[in-house]
A and B are shown apart, each in its own frame.
Chain A
Amino acid sequence: MYSFLECSQLCGRAFGGQSRSLDLICSFFSQMRDVKYLGAYGMGTLGLTDEYDRFFDELSRLPDINLCIEKICSEFDIQFVTYHLAFHEGKAIDSPYVRTNYPATWVSQYLTNDYVEIDPVAQSGFKRALPCLWSELDWSSEQAVSFKDDAQKHGIGTSGYLVPITDRRRRRAIINFASPKKESVWADHIHEIKSLLQECAEILHRKAIVDLYGADDEKPALSPREIQCLTWVAQGKDASSIGLILGISEHTVRDYCKSAKHKLGCASMYQAIHKATMLRIIDPDSLSD
């Protein structure tokens, strides 16, 4: 753990005019992730980052989407995660992109029996804009009941949570989180972690898109407010101070930061500041005395 003074020095060094090398900044960020009290940076307090920022950071750095799925499962006590991209530019693509940690026996059972025609999750998932519990889907048909029985026989949990995603290019994906927990226990569990699962879903989507179409190295268009907020975060200001400086609410500051993070395709504020600095979208020195 570093003291505040050491952190400030490190911070000054990492963002120093002459020494803005990738290695140094990377080592700064990796060291910073070990700092217990991020409050010293202003980023840890007041919701600009939270205790899961480090987790999302690590998750997004994993080389493979299957590893991401495993990490999500162990972190959030989930049995299976499935990422399913079905549409591109509003049209169905020939072979849907699916990544899952369901056992091979269940996947082949699913395909052999053409369960996609029966499975309420697959049937209604892509017609949804808002997330839902599997229990909110229509399981009333006889076929759906026997499908569920078969899943249970194969050791597949039948409590689940479905998160739909639509991106700017109108690509649509659904991400499903499954568990053998009882429905009521599962609903409580989801209530606790649903915002975190939403973030996980976004990270999986970004991974899949890079996997399919390659990295998007376009410089994202950040709004002036987003750039101002990021620049002040890089200077160690917290949301409340930035709000005072810019004359906007703390909540709005957080929105601008989240929006900048999303546009930069980053999973944490640390990554966002790093990337924005590397792309010269922000110049953290510009505000220094």
Chain B
Amino acid sequence: MSGDGRLLGFWYVLPYLIGLLVFTAIPFLGSLYLSFTDYRLMQGASFIGLENYADILTSDRTFTRSFNVTMLYVLITVPLKLAFALFIAGILNSKLKGIGFFRTAYYVPSILGGSIAVAVLWRYMFADTGLINMVLTSIGFEAINWFGNPGTALFTITLLRLWQFGSAMVIFLAALQSIDKSLYEAAAIDGAKPWRAFFAITLPLLTPVIFFNLIMQMVQAFQEFNGPYIITQGGPLKSTYLLPLYIYEMAFKKFDMGYASAIAWVLFAVIMVLTLIAFWSSKHWVYYAGDKRS
């Protein structure tokens, strides 16, 4: 392509560069700036330094509550989802008849994903006399007041996201199927038990996709909005009032854009720190095939 000049490729990438600057980079820096201002819609911004952050970290009890709930939600949802996705992928990864059917059935909830209709369905399913309680009472358990109880209300949202384990599972399954079968045969001939083979062969080879899924699911879980907004409206007692909900109400209901930006940056910082920890630690536990280390 030498005859076309060195900048040729640049022209194809240009739309991305413009989009990056206008819709990502400038807003990114803009929100950092806004977080240091008192900015109410209609009034314009006045610089107040670290005041928003000081308020958030010292005197805003709603933030403290919301932050704790968010951490709890992510810490429960992400490991459960990954473990479940890996477990099912492991079961699907054998010469089973009907594997295509099961893979499709498990993937369907992920397709419907964050749809409002699914959140609405959840609201009816976990209602006092909803599907879940009817099933519980019919097999002899007591009905649970899912939305009335802070512990169970958050769990309904976790269950909604667990129900959508399909996309993580499909990635695990693809990785499992790409593992060279001769490794297992060699292990069997050496007398290794199946569980030993799982920990010595399967798990190490899966660490790159576990890492990928972990990062993606974590970033996503920290931004959960539709679930609490539709299903529980943040209640009861703000037990499902996740940070994205707080940011939304601060920014688009109270139009306190400066303060909302500061909360968004705190959330961003938390996600970044955890992502960096994951990346930093990955060299100790993520195994890349062809790597010299073993």
Q: Do A and B bind each other?
A: no
Interfacial residues, chain A to chain B (CB-CB below 8 A): none
Interfacial residues, chain B to chain A (CB-CB below 8 A): none
